[in-house]
Amino acid sequence: MNKAKEIISKYHASRYLLACSAGVDSMVLFHFFLSHQLPFSVAHVNYQLRGEDSEADARMIRDLCVQHQISFHERIVDLGARLREEGGNLQLEARTIRYQFFQEIVGTATDVLIATAHHQDDQIETFFLHLFRNSGLSGLAGMHELRCGILRPFLHISKSEIVTYAETHGIHWREDKSNADSKYQRNAIRLDVIPALEKLNPSIREQVLMLQNACYHSYLEVFEQAQAFAIQWKNQRVIPIKALAEDQTVLVEAFKLLEIEPRFIQSIMQLTSAENNKRVRLAHHSSGYQALIKFKDKLYLINDIPCIDFTFTVAPVDSLPAQFTTSVFYLNPTQVNGELKLVRGKLKETMVPVGMKSAKTVGAILKDHGIPAFQRSVWPLLYVDEQLIGIPGVSMNQAFTPSPSLPSYLKVTFEAC
């Protein structure tokens, strides 16, 4: 277990939170930290999926913590009921629940690391999982010794070494019977795929680890470019179609930074040649993107919040600028006899835009300015009483153009948000 000592020495913390199930990996992790007199507490999630077995797992860890006077944190979740009510992937939901729990315990502390018992065999299984999911270089690169506050001291230690250590030191553990069920993809990889590959190539494990290392270094090379794309797309809420001609390796990582799963990439690429207003619906996630919608030469990122919104401020001024923009309206104060407010949805309202001679509907004006159809109904319009003053960011109603000889004006400044 010297490699575990090296990792802990490399990433020292004032305290550790051990993520423990009752399996051999986490029980060896508990024993290792205890025997080396490292300061730690323990966190366990009881998903109530295996009846009495789940209760026995929690009880064993709890008793062990009491015996050694270790702080014990437990979360009990009826995951089966949650999945029946809300749907979702069991393993993904379980992972989300436990890591949220761990972060709650750690809180804002910067000198505490969460330690998990992930080992070398987990690393190899993870490679194949991400290979099947087309997860890009970051997925193929596998887990890291330390990332986002998660420490993995056993990452370079094989499962067989861990079991041998447990047997040598008389460590007790409990087997999770679901680990033998091949209906779960990770189990199928461990029980079926890897053994079959080892028959064809006995050194497959070593070769996967070498390939993971190469993927990691390649990922470091593309990350900066992918991050730049992701930041730009997120800020602008659009993806220029021409950007999708970039190396797909970079695109996969950029989409992942936007929390758009790689499984959507093929549909997204097909969307680039589709008709206007066609969309790809995305799975719900923390960033809130619900869909990508094609309009002209862009793909628009759509979430629960309207894509376009404005706030505005009003201030009196005594002169007009040399050049006007659509983000600032200058009004005659005598024409503003009521409250200024932003209204949506009045696409059939008409006005004569500044610089034009005839009236057009709001919908037509927005269309002429290249505003996608799905944005027009939520684009805000500035009103006073029942009169349309203009369309922020697009055009002002010519009827509200002030005379240059007025002693003062109302300056309305819009800010997109």
Instruction: Give me the DSSP letters along 299-360.
Output: EEEEESS-S--EEEEEEEESS--SS--TTEEEE-GGG--S-EEEE---TT-EE-BTT-SS-E
What's the pLDDT at 373? Answer: 78
Give me the tens of pLDDT residue by residue for the chain, a chain 417 residues long.
889 999 999 998 999 999 999 999 999 999 999 999 999 999 999 999 999 999 999 999 999 999 999 999 999 999 999 888 888 788 889 999 999 999 999 998 889 999 999 999 999 999 999 998 888 898 999 999 999 899 999 999 999 999 999 999 999 999 988 888 888 889 999 999 999 999 999 999 999 999 999 999 999 989 999 999 999 999 888 999 999 988 889 999 999 898 888 888 889 999 999 998 888 888 655 456 788 989 889 999 887 544 567 889 999 999 999 999 999 999 999 999 899 999 998 999 999 999 999 999 999 999 998 888 778 888 999 999 899 999 999 999 999 999 999 999 999 999 876
Question: Token pair for residue 190?
Answer: 């461990």
What's the pLDDT at 308? Answer: 63
In terms of domains, do 219 and 349 share one?
A: no
In terms of domains, do 289 and 384 share one?
A: no
Q: Please tell me the distance from the alpha carbon of residue 250 to that of residue 89, in angstroms, as a whole number.
A: 27
CATH number where 328 lies: 3.50.40.10
Provide the domain count of the chain: 3
Crossing angle for the helix pair 204-236 and 120-132, to the nearest 10 degrees = 60
In terms of domains, do 269 and 334 share one?
A: no
What's the pLDDT at 277? Answer: 83
What's the pLDDT at 288? Answer: 66
Which one of 302, 331, 351 terminates a domain? 302
Q: Please tell me the distance from the alpha carbon of residue 73 to that of residue 62, in angstroms, as a whole number.
A: 9
The answer to whether residue 130 is domain-embedded is no
What's the pLDDT at 287? Answer: 55
In terms of domains, do 247 and 113 share one?
A: no
In terms of domains, do 266 and 317 share one?
A: no
The answer to whether residue 140 is domain-embedded is no
In terms of domains, do 91 and 45 share one?
A: yes
- 271, with CB counted inside 10 A (0-12, 13-18, 19+), is buried
Q: Phi then psi for 45, rounded to 5 degrees? A: -110, 125
Give the DSSP letter of residue 168: H
Single-letter code of the amino acid located at 408: S
Task: Calculate the alpha carbon distances from 78 to 36, 81, 83, 85, 371 in Å.
Answer: 35, 6, 9, 11, 47
Q: Please tell me the distance from the alpha carbon of residue 194 to that of residue 390, in angstroms, as a whole number.
A: 65
Where in the sequence is the domain holding 214, given as residue range(s)? 208-302
Q: Phi then psi for 318, rounded to 5 degrees? A: -110, 10
The answer to whether residue 226 is domain-embedded is yes
In terms of domains, do 186 and 286 share one?
A: no
The answer to whether residue 125 is domain-embedded is no
Q: In the Cβ-directed half-sphere of 352, how many Cα atoms lie within 13 Å?
A: 8
The answer to whether residue 370 is domain-embedded is yes
What's the pLDDT at 417? Answer: 63
| Residue indicated by tokens 């970079």 | 250
The answer to whether residue 144 is domain-embedded is no
The answer to whether residue 291 is domain-embedded is yes
CB atoms within 10 A of CB 181: 11
Which one of 274, 302, 330 terminates a domain? 302
In terms of domains, do 56 and 188 share one?
A: yes
Give the DSSP letter of residue 393: T
The answer to whether residue 134 is domain-embedded is no
In terms of domains, do 105 and 166 share one?
A: yes
Which one of 268, 302, 336 terminates a domain? 302
In terms of domains, do 293 and 351 share one?
A: no
Q: Please tell me the distance from the alpha carbon of residue 204 to that of residue 369, in angstroms, as a whole number.
A: 58
Is 382 within 8 Å of 362 (Cβ atoms)?
no
Alpha helices in 193-264 (DSSP H): 194-200, 204-236, 248-257
In terms of domains, do 272 and 350 share one?
A: no
Please, what sign has the CA dihedral across residues 332, 334, 339, 345? negative
In terms of domains, do 98 and 60 share one?
A: yes
